[in-house]
Amino acid sequence: MKGIVEQRAVELAEYIVENKATVRDAAKKFGISKSTVHIDVSQRLRKLNPSLYNDVRKILDINKAERHIRGGMATKQKFSK
């Protein structure tokens, strides 16, 4: 059972890096919660594959920096209808 969790963490990380996906996108794609994705790519992956962790961290930092812009765009779109 433990090997499945590590494998999932690596698959999530690869998906995020390849698609420049958000945690929410990855959670939806894999059918798991955002919390699980975050734990997998921020805690488990750091021990399993540090270089892949660094790649994912860069993308997640960019997503975090842009999230207020995405939220504003979503609100604008919601009320423009």
pLDDT in tens, 5-56: 999 999 999 999 999 999 999 999 999 999 999 999 999 999 999 999 999 9
Q: What is the number of structural domains in the chain? A: 1
pLDDT band, very low/low/confident/very high, at 68 (cuts 50, 70, 90):
confident
Full-model pTM: 0.83
Residue 57 three-state SS: helix
- DSSP labels, 3-35: HHHHHHHHHHHHHHHHHT--HHHHHHHHTS-HH
Domain that holds residue 75: 2-80
Block residue for tokens 């999530």 = 12
